[in-house]
Structure formats: structure tokens, C-alpha cells
Chain A
């Protein structure tokens, strides 16, 4: 039960008034249903804990998919002053640059209706997923370093995709400031054989159908049409990212006393942005972010080829095109208007997506008129939403929106609730074919384990943070 005081700010937001050691208030985006859920877990306390960290600007935020994480809540957004603020590995998460990418095709459901089984089997066999799998990309020592410093740019240079893919990736799929010297030998070792692997847990590859269009203009600009087949990939930086987080977390915990920063939870361990340790983490984190982008780029290219081969289509006929790639576990230096002045801040998004509005400089030319595509995957049975970033995000959320449905059941609860049921069959009845290497994962990831995606997305839409553009229905899903 949360002991944190919360009050309604307006119909889409809940305020945690500043109290105790909080330096700023907390704000959580929530409708009444989500507000009720907040009262029964610890995520509001985590929002308040983040508000205690030095240099935090304006407020500690959480998106409507907020749930109990470790240290920072999942769905948390916090921005820190470059001079007095901190950077926290726990505020980014273990899976650095975990994210999603959505690709469209020229196919309709009729084109693949009788081939879904064959296609899903080909994807399941051709895309390594699950615990302990190895990727199909073998990296030399030199290439390992290049992946870390060049991200998706390396992937495209080496035949995994096309230059247009880069334009449709957040930050062009390459994070500046990456320095592979700051990445430990252990992290490099863990990443060596995992490029081109999906991973396990909530990571997935899904074949989806564009089911509903909410905003014709934006959908047209994003290249989305009702009835079209699309593919969503959710994966991250694999063992390399987890190790980078763990290495720097250990280091920052070890030196916590020296920095004099009082921590409500050791998992919030951090370093001042100006310090060498803070800068080194940023450089190592950028390497992991680049690895994740290269990973999703390689996974996409493999998906393209498996579609083409299985359906016997030429690349031109399939025309698998990247709509966008977003990261949702990251810290980035971005500029915002703070009290009338443009200011650079270090924005932590832990389980949150960048959501830039129309006209923003960072957007590719083709999306400038409508805003950035914000990709929100749901649970296995639901599919996904595509939103477009709105101006209010710049004013209220440091250009951020939610990243998914957010869990409501723990993994053990979900496993218990699914006892004696076949999740595969239940999903098949809903028209979703699922192939997973672990039955345990399927139980843990059952649809009821998540909040209603529609509710979460509606809060963002109503609050003017990101508007609904399209809804996609899951048709087939491969999981680790």
C-alpha cells in the first residue's frame, strides 16, 4: 500500500506534493482507474524518491503505464540540470535503449492469410530468441568497437538495411559521445555473440494488421493504411547493456559516500553529470544504445529477408519500410524551454518514449508536418498503437510519452493465474498465433498481466502529449 500523499491535479494528472526530502513535486499521468492502481503499489513512492535527487528540474514524472520498478519507477521521466544535476544508471535501466521499431509492408491480410503459420515458423526459426541464444552476426574485434560507436550506421554500412532506415530511427540510430574505452571487457564479452538476437521476457517480434486509423493525415504521412500488414520489433542492448548498467551501478554505489548524495534506495546510485564518473557512464551508455540500435537494425533486415524468402517476393514487392524506431530506456541531453530560456538538460526516460511535436528540429523531414511517430506496444493479445508527438509534451513532459501498457500483475501472480490454461490456445481464439521458446514466458506475459492499453494511450491523447494515429492488431507473435 502506498503511503505517499497524492491528489488530483486535473483529469489526466495526479500530483505528489513536495514533502520531506523531495526537491520538486511529483506528477503522474493517470485516469481514475490508473490512480486506483497507484494506491496499491510502490511506484508513487519511487516517483517521490526520484524527486529527492540533486539537480532535478521542475518535477519528477511518471507516464500512465507507470509501475513498480527498482529505484526509478518504470514509466518514469526526470530531467536534470547539466551543472548541478546527476546521471543515474538505474534511471536508465539495465536494458539500455530497449526500444521498438515498426515496419510497414505492401501486404494485406488476404496476401498472407494462408501463410501465417509458415511465415511465423520461418521468423521463429530465423530470428534467435530466448535465453542464451547466439546471434547470426559474427563480429571481429574491430567491428565490435564500431558497433558500439556507430550503431545502426555500422549495420547499414555492413549490408543490414538501407540508408532510409537511418532517417527513420531516433537520432539516426547513432548516439554521439560513445567511447568504447569506457565499456568493460565483461560487457563486450557478453555482447560478442548476441547481435541479432531478440532476447527473452517481454521482448518480441509481432506481425500486426493496421486495424483502425484515428488521424488520416498523420497516418498518411507515416505511411499507414487500414488493412496493411506491419511488423513490430521490441528488443534492446542484450547482455552488453545489462553489464554496462551493472558495472556503473556498482561503481557509483561504491563511491556513493564520497559524492555526499543521500540516496533513499541504493538502486538510485548516481554521479554528478559534471564528474568523470558521470561522463564515463554517459559514454558507455551511448555505446550500449548504439549496440541496441544496431541489434534492431540487424533484426529488421533479417525479418525483411525471411518475409521475402517465405512469401517469394522481391524486396521491391514487399517494400518493408521502417516507419520509426524509438528507444524507451535512455538518458539524453536535450534542450527545453525552461522559464523562457532554452536549456540543455539530461532527460532520463525509463520505460518512456520520446514524443516530439511537429516542427521539431530533431524530426526527419518527412514527419516534420505531423510530429514524431510514438510507438506503443501492448500485451500479446492486443497489438499496438501509433501516436504522434504533440506540443504539450515539450511543455509538460520533457518531450516524453508512455512506452506500453505497463504490468499490473507480477510474474508470479500471472503464472498462478494462468495455471491450467493454455495461453497459446486462448490467443489463437483471438486470432493471434504465438510461438515462444518458453511456456513460462507465455504465462508471465499473459494479456491480463498488463493494464488496458487503450486506457493508457487515451490519457496521453487527452492530455495532449501524443495523439492517436492508428491502432494495430496482433496477428502472430514470436517470443523468447
Chain B
């Protein structure tokens, strides 16, 4: 089952993502973004990449994490299947991404995500875990 839903936004597309912990919500947002690019179940965990980012607050760190992850796709055509937050401090997070390079024979690219926006960005604690909301420019 998917742990995110698509958000209606007139020009662009957004996701609302759930996680049991803050870390899980952040990691699941990375996975959701890649699921929009190419179906997550078509990607295998063949390689590992580490990303470390900083930011003024959790929301800012989330955007910077997504930015770095998206750059892996834009510069190296690399697709992520799973993401795990290894370390989380007040202004810094380290994440491990597992996935593989894009292969036209195996993967179908569904959508071009141009960028990650700050627009209506949210990461908050709810009764049952954490919720993150991000809008992408497509």
C-alpha cells in the first residue's frame, strides 16, 4: 500500500505523505517523489547513495533532501526505490538511498519533476504519526 496521496494543485502536483516517525515521513517523501517519476515497484535496490543536507528547520531540510535526491535523477539518471534517514540533528540530516540507474528497457518515466517547491510546505505531528506535504513543479 502506498503511504502517500496526490494533492490537487491547479498547475502542479503535490504529495501528502505519512510516517510513524518524523524520519519515516521524510524518507517516505523521497520515495513518493521517485514513485511519481517512475513506478517504485519497477526499481531495484542495486546501488546505494548517501546524502547529507542541512537546513534552518525540518521543513527546510526536507526540501534540501528532496533537492539532492532529485539531482541524482537529473544528473545521473538515477532512480531511488527506498530511503532511510540514518542521522537526524537539529539542522542536519544524513540519508541512505537505494536504487539503480534508469534503464529505458526496464523503467517507464511517468513525469518530469522540474523542482521541489516551498509552496504550502508542511511537516507536522499528527495523532497517529507524522505528515509531510510538498508541491513539485512539473
Contact = CB atoms under 8 A, between A and B. Distances in A.
Contact of B117 (A70, A74, A200): A70
Given A94-B115, A267-B117, A68 B102 contact: no
B137 to A, nearest CB: 5
Nearest to A440: B110
Nearest to A200: B112
A249 B110 CA distance: 26
Most A CB within 10 A of own CB, among B115, B121, B135: B115
A416 B10 CA distance: 14
A265 interface: yes
A152 to B, nearest CB: 23
Interface stretch (B23-31, B40-48, B71-79, B80-88): B71-79
B11 A407 contact: yes
A411 B138 CA distance: 10
A371 interface: no
Contacts of B64: 250
B3 to A, nearest CB: 17
Interface string A260-272: 0000011101000
B119 A265 contact: yes
Contact of B138 (A41, A67, A71, A201): A201
Contacts of B119: 69-71, 265-267
A70 B137 contact: yes
Determine the interface band of chain A, counting residues with CB < 8 A from chain B. 35 or more
A332 B45 CA distance: 46
B115 A242 contact: yes
Most A CB within 10 A of own CB, among B64, B109, B116: B109
Interface string B43-63: 000000000000010001000
B12 interface: yes
B56 A189 contact: no
B119 to A, nearest CB: 3
B9 interface: yes
Interface string B83-119: 0000000000000000000100000011110111111
A267 B118 contact: yes
Contacts of A253: 56, 60, 118
Contacts of A407: 10-11
Most B CB within 10 A of own CB, among A70, A131, A407, A409: A70
A149 interface: no
Interface string A390-421: 00000000000000000111111100000000
A179 interface: no
Nearest to B135: A70
Contact of B112 (A201, A265, A267): A201
B10 A438 contact: no
A187 to B, nearest CB: 10
Contact of B111 (A69, A269, A410, A440): A440
Given A70-B12, A201-B138, A131 B118 contact: no
Contacts of A267: 117-119
A250 B121 contact: no
A412 B8 contact: yes
B110 A438 contact: yes
B75 A242 contact: no
Contact of B75 (A74, A94, A189): A189
Interface in A309-326: none
Contacts of A199: 112
Interface in A67-117: 67-71, 74, 94-95
A223 interface: no
A220 interface: no
Interface string A210-252: 0000000000000000000000000000010011011001100
A132 B76 CA distance: 11
A144 B11 CA distance: 31
A186 interface: yes
Nearest to A256: B56
Interface string B110-135: 11101111111100000000000001
Contacts of B112: 130-132, 199-201, 480
B56 A254 contact: yes
Contacts of A411: 12-13, 138
B109 A239 contact: no
Contacts of A186: 71, 75
Contact of B118 (A95, A242, A265, A440): A265
B121 to A, nearest CB: 7
Given A246-B67, A480-B112, A190 B118 contact: no
Interface of A: 41, 67-71, 74, 94-95, 130-132, 186, 189-190, 199-201, 239, 242-243, 245-246, 249-250, 253-254, 265-267, 269, 407-413, 438, 440, 480
25 contacts: A69-B11, A69-B12, A70-B117, A70-B120, A71-B117, A130-B109, A131-B110, A131-B111, A131-B112, A132-B77, A190-B74, A199-B112, A200-B112, A245-B115, A253-B118, A254-B56, A265-B120, A266-B118, A266-B121, A269-B118, A407-B11, A410-B8, A438-B110, A440-B110, A480-B112
For the complex of A and B, list the 10 residue pairs with the smallest distance between their C-beta atoms, beginning with the closest. Answer: A70-B119, A266-B118, A131-B109, A410-B8, A242-B114, A68-B10, A131-B112, A200-B112, A70-B117, A267-B119
Given A70-B120, A239-B114, A267-B117, 5 more contacts: A71-B119, A130-B112, A131-B110, A411-B12, A438-B109
